[in-house]
Chain A
Amino acid sequence: MTGQPLPPPDAPIAGQGDAKGTSPGPTTLRPARPRWRETLGLLARNPTAAVASVVLLLIVVLAVFDDTFAPEGANEISVTDRLQSPSWSHPFGTDDLGRDILSRVILGASVSLKVGFLAVGFALVAGTLIGLLAGYYGRWVDDVLMRVMDMLFAFPAVLLAIAVLAVRGPGSGNTALAIGIVYTPIFARVTRASVLGVREEVYVRASRSVGASDWRILTRHILPNAAPPIIVQTSISLAFAVLAEAALSFLGLGTQPPNPSWGLMLAEGRGYIELAWWLAFFPGMAIFLTVLCFNLLGDGLRDALDPRQRTLMAGGGR
């Protein structure tokens, strides 16, 4: 719970930078790489995705500077202000302990996004690496790695996460790990599929024939080509990671009180649902909005980057 929020989901962004750098590699007959500027343009012309990106950016800014934006602290208890309905001083109302819900929703964004980004970051790094290795080396490496991934993939996501948390105990960090493990196979599969697609291309074989190292071929040639579906998958996975974090916290396995997490707030508000609907309503809206935006962005990215829809599971893990 310490340190900076928003750990960067590194790999695809690194791929992005790589692709933009126009070093045309001396050895290659390489096809046109994905053109990133054009992609951004396409995305901007898709109004839904553009709006979603703006809203997401706002949410992220709110989450990063949560202390600045939140009118009150997360746990400023005020007995006299218990269960106030939404008003000017408390736009989202207050909860059973008189805590300002707007403030808790904003501070909760930080927790939810942190877990989401951590989880997807883990899945991204682990999954991409596994997918690259499996796809590039093939044979038994592929067999072993993908069999393990298949096993994880075959398992119901929520249950897998619950099992991980059962073993490691509840908490934000473990939640991120659990969700990360759940999503690793998806990234591994997407990456592997892309790698298999380009492994035998002329330019890759050409690089190999002039003695480029495996690492160089993987990072310079194969990863940039695998990047589009991975990026799309990242956005969609973020949606489901936020959702999963909320669900696990709702079940009492994720973020622990008194930290504000949207799922936890929902669980706390559930008991007051008939008395004070705003307790559960606003955190729910926050989850819905965030998840919706990540999904819309993912769809937009898919249309722009990945027209052949190589991404697995359009429905994410649901």
Chain B
Amino acid sequence: MFALVHLVPGDPVRLALGTRFSQESYDALRERSGLDQPLLEQFFGWAGRALSGDLGVSFRSGETVTSQIAERLPATLTLALASILVALVIAIPLGTISALRPRSIIDRIATVISQFGISVPDFWMGIVLILVFAGTLGWLPSGGYVPISEDPGAWLQRLLMPALVTGVVSGSVITRFVRSSVLEALGSDHVRTAQAKGLPTRQVFTWHVLRNALLPLVTVTGVQLAYLLSGVVVVEIVFSWPGLGQLALQAVQARDYPVLQGAILLFALVFLVINLVVDLLYTAIDPRIRR
């Protein structure tokens, strides 16, 4: 409930208005595309059409924005989901182990890795990976996208590197979170109660440490997923991944405002949906916020 009100204050539409607003300066463009009607009228017209799925027509290609977005959406979703998977697979074990053995060698290595992952520019890491795995070793193609329905093998080959790059970055952030969260849970009083009643260690760990520590992970994963969906822009460029980010960038370069607007609206929508899902999920798993 909280996140819904606070994180996403309702209307992606207002941001679209923001974009419109500054379009005023682009007189030429405005005239060309018949945008010289009063601003509000324009906006409501656009919003009304957007509600019915009509986001207008691309300046450049003449295709409808909706169809362009629909075409790109699967690629971006694939990459974002694969990345979050990589991130969680890295972060949960690594963060947990470091928390169980604070200041041990494993913990120190994990800290270095996550510090590296947080600081490394993802596009640079992508370029280096391409150099090594596509160039020198020749194991993987350097980029592109093949739908899974066409050729699962090729799909996976092309997904591997970009998912690894974004997954490592997100995973680093999540690792730190998991570590501190598990550490906090380990130190909590109820864990001592559980030990004092003679539960087997494994049971104490699973039900009284891990379960409590991973609850907030749902929120963090949601936030990370949302950031991934938009944050993969740069990585999409590096790996020639035909996703929404690439579309948005092309739209900026071509001053193709209907497309840019549509892409932004969609990202905002995705944000809204993710936050909603996180809230629902959280309500389902945390009794404290259940009504």
Interface string of A181-199 (1 = CB under 8 A from B): 0000000000000000000
Q: B4-29: which have CB < 8 Å to A?
A: 6-9, 14-15, 18-19, 22-23
Task: Find chain A residues with CB under 8 A from B119 CB.
Answer: 239, 243, 288, 291-292, 295
Q: Is the CB of B118 within 8 A of A316?
A: yes
Q: Which residue of A lies closest to B252 (CB)?
A: A166
User: Interface segment, A24-32, A114-122, A274-282?
Assistant: A274-282
Query: Chain B nearest CB: distance from A277 CB in Å?
Result: 6
Interface string of B214-235 (1 = CB under 8 A from A): 0000000000001101110110
B173 within 8 A of partner (CB): yes
Interface string of A161-175 (1 = CB under 8 A from B): 011011110000000
Q: Is the CB of B7 within 8 A of A273?
A: no
A156 within 8 A of partner (CB): yes
Q: Is the CB of B121 within 8 A of A246?
A: yes
Q: Is the CB of A166 within 8 A of B120?
A: no
Q: How far is the CA of A287 from the CA of B119 in the complex (A)?
A: 9
Q: Is the CB of B176 within 8 A of A315?
A: yes
A210 within 8 A of partner (CB): no
Query: Chain B nearest CB: distance from A61 CB in Å?
Result: 21
Query: Chain B nearest CB: distance from A295 CB in Å?
Result: 5
Majority DSSP secondary structure for residues of A touching B: helix
Majority DSSP secondary structure for residues of B touching A: helix
Q: Is the CB of A159 within 8 A of B267?
A: yes
B237 within 8 A of partner (CB): yes
Q: Is the CB of A166 within 8 A of B260?
A: yes
User: Interface segment, A33-41, A145-153, A200-208?
Assistant: A145-153
Q: Is the CB of B229 within 8 A of A274?
A: no
- Asked if A150 meets B231 with Cβ closer than 8 Å, knowing A155-B268, A163-B260, the reply is no
Task: Find chain B residues with CB under 8 A from A281 CB.
Answer: 128
Query: Chain A nearest CB: distance from B162 CB in Å?
Result: 15
Interface range for B? 35 or more
User: Interface segment, A70-78, A134-142, A226-234, A247-255?
Assistant: A247-255
Q: How far is the CA of A154 from the CA of B7 in the complex (A)?
A: 5
Q: How far is the CA of A122 from the CA of B81 in the complex (A)?
A: 34
Query: Chain A nearest CB: distance from B238 CB in Å?
Result: 8
Q: Is the CB of A250 within 8 A of B234?
A: yes
Number of interface residues of A (CB under 8 A): 47
Q: Which residue of A lies closest to B253 (CB)?
A: A252
Q: How far is the CA of A288 from the CA of B115 in the complex (A)?
A: 11
Task: Find chain B residues with CB under 8 A from A239 CB.
Answer: 119
- Asked if A284 meets B227 with Cβ closer than 8 Å, knowing A154-B7, A155-B15, the reply is no
Query: Which of A150, A163, A295 contacts B115, CB < 8 Å?
Result: A295
Q: Is the CB of A251 within 8 A of B121?
A: no
Q: How far is the CA of A188 from the CA of B37 in the complex (A)?
A: 36
Task: Find chain A residues with CB under 8 A from B135 CB.
Answer: 273-274
Q: Is the CB of B233 within 8 A of A159?
A: yes
Task: Find chain B residues with CB under 8 A from A299 CB.
Answer: 115
B241 within 8 A of partner (CB): no
- Asked if A318 meets B127 with Cβ closer than 8 Å, knowing A157-B227, A166-B260, the reply is no
Q: A273-318: which have CB < 8 Å to B?
A: 273-274, 277, 280-281, 283-284, 287-288, 291-292, 295-296, 299, 314-318
- Asked if A292 meets B115 with Cβ closer than 8 Å, knowing A156-B226, A250-B123, A266-B127, the reply is yes
Q: Which residue of A lies closest to B15 (CB)?
A: A155
Pairs of residues from A and B, 3 with the lowest C-beta to C-beta distance, nearest first: A156-B230, A315-B173, A284-B124
Task: List residues of A whose CB falls within 8 A of some B CB.
Answer: 147, 150-151, 153-159, 162-163, 165-168, 239, 243, 246-247, 250-253, 263, 266, 269-270, 273-274, 277, 280-281, 283-284, 287-288, 291-292, 295-296, 299, 314-318
Interchain Cβ contacts under 8 Å between A and B, 16 examples = A153-B7, A154-B8, A156-B227, A156-B230, A158-B234, A159-B233, A159-B267, A162-B248, A250-B237, A251-B237, A253-B252, A274-B131, A288-B119, A288-B120, A317-B227, A318-B227
